Chains A and B, each alone.
Chain A
Amino acid sequence: MGLSRDEVMGRVEEVLVDALGVDPEEVTQSATLTEDLGAESIDFLDIVFRLEKTFEIKISKGELFPDDILSNPDNVVDGKMTAEGLASLKSSMPHADFSEFEANPDVSKVSDLFTVNTIVNYVENKLNTANAA
């Protein structure tokens, strides 16, 4: 599917409006899913299902939202992510912007990594990989 970034963004916006009941204007690139758009845990699964349908892709468990890394107690010490934990999180989430989180890898801030932009990046990468294959 040869979609431009704007087209991907447009469809992601539709997915989030439907899944979270938010207004289209709330879905900005930097909006965080949990804090700004009010997503709860079941909504993340809903978003994955809707992205799969919308873009005709298959999203494996933990691929978009790697909850297994976050829930592994070895990756967290005193409420902060360990260097190893951060490294594995970064390598599994090339679609996220870590610039702020790296400076202060407090686990309570981890939800800030999940922005609208993170999803758009993920979908773009996924579609490009599929096209190249």
Chain B
Amino acid sequence: MDLKLDHYTKDDTEIVVVEGEIDVYTAPRLRELLIDLVNKGNFHLVVNMEKVEFLDSTGLGVLVGGLKRVRAHDGTLDLVCTQERILKIFRITGLTKVFGIHESVQEAIDKRAAK
């Protein structure tokens, strides 16, 4: 399936809900959304990837790009993902050490608040 994007505010965090496939074709849409959110002053982002069916290095690049942008404003970008097929690519590329990866949106928010 194609890529479906949604977002909402929870506490002081903007939650981005991603559904479908993130690849070289669809990743630009996610990149534009992340850039737009940051430009509008949302510097604490959580990307919920529980409904992502496919992620490649292009998608990883977009997430890293988003992380760079929020960090420029002392912000955070955390991920919610429990799917082994998606987590595998984070492990292969070593990006599990770069992103905070959580089991739920609430956990991502709570852990950031506890820092």
Tell me whether A and B are bound partners: no
| B contacts, CB < 8 Å to A | none
